[in-house]
Structure 1
Amino acid sequence: MTFTGEVPVRRLGPGGPEVPVFALGSWNIWDRMEPEDRRALIERAVEAGTAFFDVAYYNMGPHAEASRTDLLFGEAIRELGLDRSRYQLCGKLWLWEYPRTGFAEQMDVSLERIGAAGADPGSFETVVVGDFMGDIDIAQVVRDVQLEIDRGSFASWGVNNWPAEALQLALDTAEAEGLTAPSFAQLKYGLVRRSMAEGEFYGKWFADGTLALQASDAFEGGILVGKLTPGRKIGADVGGIRERIVAAYPRVAEIAASFGATPAQLGIAFCLANPATANVLFGASSVRQLDDNLGAISLLAREGAERIREATAELWLDREVRADGVWAPPAA
C-alpha cells in the first residue's frame, strides 16, 4: 500500500508544537547508514512533510555508548544545506546523572554536537525528559526545565515512561508554581503493548487532553516487522513478554496481509487509530522503509480506526502488566 498524499499534523499536547504524525528516531539509526543514505532519507522526509527528528546524545546510564549518531545527523543537515525552517527537532534530557549533569549543560552539549558540522540548529522545538530514575526531585526537574524554556533552548517538553505518580507531581508543581507543564508522554505503545497508554493512569490524561501520546517502540526493535532476532541493542522488555511477541509475529503478518498492508503499516496505523496519539516515533534507516511506513496513513484512512482496532484486539499481550508506569512482570 503506497501513500501519495500529505502527511497529517497533530498537536503534541497543550502548548506543544504542531508536528507530523511521524517522528524519525536516532538511536542506532544514523550511525548504521552510509552518508548518501542519510542524506536521501532526510531529503525524503522533508519532501513528504514528515521532517520531525528525535535527536539525542547517547552517552549516559545504559546509553553510555559515546554514540556519533547525532553528529552524523548534523553533518547530513549541513551537507544538504537545509534551512532550519524545513525541519523540526525533538531533543532529550537525561535523568541518569541529574542533577550532577544539569539540563543547561546537556542542552549546550547536544546543540553543539548537532551543529558541530556546520549546521545551525538554533534550538529544539521540544524535548523529552527521561529515562526515569528513582529518588528524583520531580518539582526541581520542572523548575529546571522551565529555566531552559526561559533560556530559549526549547518551547515545550514531555516525559519518557515516567511512573504515573511522578508525572502527577510534575503536573501539580507546574500548576501551583505557574510553570510549563509537560504536554506529551513518550510511551512504549503498539499492537502488543497497550496497558500503560490505555490504562486508568495515563489513559485519563490522554482522554481529557492533559497530554498527547508519542508512541515509541511500536515495532519492538524490528520484531514486529519480521526481524525476530534483532542484531542490535533494542528497548527494554517491560513485563518480560518478548518471547510471546516473537511468537505473535506470524499473526501480525497475517492480519496485515488481510488488509493488503505490511506489518509496519499495520503497526503504525494501530497507533494512529488512537486519537490521543500525536505521532509515532520509529527508526527508519532507508527511504524504502520510510515510504513503506507512510502507507500506514492510507491504510488508516481506508479501513478506519474501529476496524483496525477490532482486527488486532487479540494481539494485546501485556494486559496483566501494571498500567501505572511502575512496571511488574505479568502474573503466572
Structure 2
Amino acid sequence: MSHADPHPAPVPTQRLGPGGPEAPVFALGSWNIWDRMSREQRAELMQGAVDAGAGFFDVAYYNMGPHAEASRTDLLFGETVRELGLPRTAYQLCGKLWLWEYPETGFAEQMRVSLDRLGESGGSFDTVVVGDFMGELDVARVVHDVQRQIEAGAFASWGVNNWPASALQRALDVAAAEGLTPPSFAQLKYGLVRRSMAEGSYYGRWFRDGTLALQASDVFEGGMLVGELAPSRKIGADVGGIRERIVAAVPRVHEVAAELGATPAQLGIAFCLANPATANVLFGASSAAQLIDNLGALEVLERVGAERLRACTAEFWLDRDVRADGVWAPEL
C-alpha cells in the first residue's frame, strides 16, 4: 500500500477556473464532517490540512431544502479556527449560496448568516458555489444577484453545483452579454464510478476549452468506495440509480488499488486528478490519518501516470447510460 510521507511536500495549486482563486488540488468538505468529530480531532485535522498546504475548506450552513438539518458543522468549523488561532490568510473559504428558497431568501442574507456563523462577520469567502435547484429558475437574476455580492466584497468568484447544462449556458451568455462575472468552475459528482456529466458533451466541452474548471466532489460515494458499504450518515443523491452496481464493484476497486500499490481513497483521488480539467478534489475526511492517506494520491498519480490510471479503472465507469446534461432538465 502507498502511504503519504508524514511530512509531505506542500500540496500543489491550480487556478479554480478563469477568474477563480489559485487553490490547492485538495479541498475539504464540511457536510456531516466537523459535527462527527471530537474537538481534538477537528483541531488536528484542520491544522494538518493548513500545514500541508491544503487549507481550502468548503463550509456551508445546511438548513435549506433537502439540507434543512439545522447542522452545526459550520459553527464547529469556526470555533476550531479560533481555537487554533489561524489567521484568515492561512486558509481559503468556499461558501454556498442555496437556490432552494431563492429568491425569497436572497444571497445577501445568506452571506450574512453564513459569515456570522463562522465568526467572520464583515469578512468574506474566497469563492462560492451556487447550487442545487430543480424546476424553473430566473438565471439572469441569479447572475445579477451574484454580481451584487461580488461588488459588495462578499466573495470574488463563483461556481455552480448541480446545474443543468442549459441553465449554465444561459448564465455564461448573460455574463458575456452584460459584462458580468461568469461562473469559473463547476462542482460535480465525479470519480471512478460517475463520469458521464463531467466527461460528457455538455460540461466536458466547457472543461476542454477552459471556460470552466472542474471541482470533483463526492468522489468516494459517501464512503462506499473506501469500504463503508452502509453509511450511517446522510450521503449524496444516487443520480441514475446505480448504487447497487457501485456496491457490487467495490471489491474490484480495492483489488485494482492494491495492484497499483495504493489505498482505495488514493486511487479515487488520483483518478480525478488524472483528468486535466480537475482543478481540485473535494472530499470529506474525519481524521488526520485519513487526510495523510489522501495526500498520498499525488505520489500514486506521479508513479502510475494518468494514462495507465485511466486504463486500469475504465471498467468502473458505471453511469455511462445516465444522461450527461445535468440529469434534472432537458438538453440544450
**Shorter-normalised TM-score: what interval?**
over 0.9
| Deviation (angstroms), 1:133 | 2.5
User: Which whole-Å CA distance do the structure 2 matches of 1:301 and 1:319 have between them?
Assistant: 27
Runs of 4+ in structure 1 deviating by more than 4 angstroms, as ranges, are: none
Check conservation: 1:58, 1:67, Cα contact below 8 A: yes
> Partner residue of 2:211?
210
Paired residues for 1:23-172 under 5 Å = 23-115=27-119, 122-172=123-173
Q: CA RMSD in A?
A: 1.0
Post-superposition CA distance 1:140-176 (Å, at most 9, x none):
0000000000000000000001000000000000000
How far apart, in 2, do the equivalents of 1:271 and 1:160 lie? 17
Question: Is the CA contact 2:112–2:121 (under 8 Å) kept in the aligned structure 1?
Answer: no
Partner Cα separation in structure 2 for residue 36 and residue 326 of structure 1: 41
Q: How many residues align?
A: 325
Is contact 2:29-2:59 (8 Å) kept?
Answer: yes
Name 1:175's counterpart in structure 2: 176
Alignment check: 8 A CA contact 2:57 2:92 kept: yes
Q: Residue type matched to 1:107 in 2? A: M
Distance across 1 between alignment mates of 2:222 and 2:122: 28
In 2, Cα distance between equivalents of 1:83 and 1:228 = 38
Q: Distance in 2 between matches of 1:174 and 1:306?
A: 36
8 Å contact from structure 2 (residues 28, 57) kept in 1: yes
- Per-residue CA deviations over 1:158-208 (Å, capped at 9, x if unaligned) read 000100000000000000010000000000000000000000000000000
Shift of 1:87: 0.2
- Structure 1 alignment gaps of length 5 or more: none
Does structure 2 retain, via aligned residues, the 8 Å contact 1:84–1:120? no
Is the contact made by 1:84 and 1:121 (CA closer than 8 Å) also made in structure 2?
no
Quote the Cα distance in structure 2 between the aligned partners of 1:134 and 1:121.
Answer: 33
- Specify the code of the residue in structure 1 equivalent to 2:212: L
Query: Which one-letter code corresponds to 2:151 in the other structure?
Result: D
Q: Is the 8 A contact 2:202 2:325 kept in 1?
A: yes
CA distance in 1, matches of 2:74, 2:122: 12
Please state whether the residue corresponding to 1:200 is helix, strand or coil: coil
Give the distance between the partners of 1:232 and 1:36, measured in 2 at CA.
Answer: 21
TM-score by length of 1: 0.97
Confirm whether residue 322 of structure 1 aligns to residue 311 of structure 2. no
Asked if the contact 2:191–2:220 (Cα under 8 Å) also holds between the matched residues in 1, the reply is yes
Aligned mates of 1:6, 1:80 — CA distance in 2: 20
Aligned partners of 2:98 and 2:130 also within 8 Å: yes
Question: Do the aligned partners of 1:29 and 1:285 also contact (CA within 8 Å) in 2?
Answer: yes
Counterpart check, 1:11 vs 2:15: yes
1:208-236 CA-to-partner distances (Å, cap 9, x unmatched) read 00000000010000000000011110000
TM-score, L = length of structure 2? 0.97
Q: Are positions 1:277 and 2:281 aligned together?
A: no
What is the identity, as a one-letter code, of the residue corresponding to 1:30? W
Cα distance in 2, alignment partners of residues 19 and 305 from structure 1:
21
Q: Any residues of structure 2 matched to 1:180-329 within 5 Å, and which?
A: 180-327=181-328
Q: Which moved more, 1:280-289 or 1:120-129?
A: 120-129
Contact (CA 8 Å) 1:24, 1:53: kept in 2 or not?
A: yes
Task: Name the CA distance, whole Å, in 1 between partners of 2:27 and 2:71.
Answer: 20
Q: After TM superposition, give the deviation of residue 5 of structure 1 in Å.
A: 1.9
8 Å Cα contact 2:192/2:317 also seen in 1: yes
Structure 2 unaligned spans of 5+? none
| C-alpha separation in 2, matches of 1:93 and 1:120 | 17
- Please give the alpha-carbon distance, in whole angstroms, between the structure 2 residues aligned to 1:121 and 1:282: 28
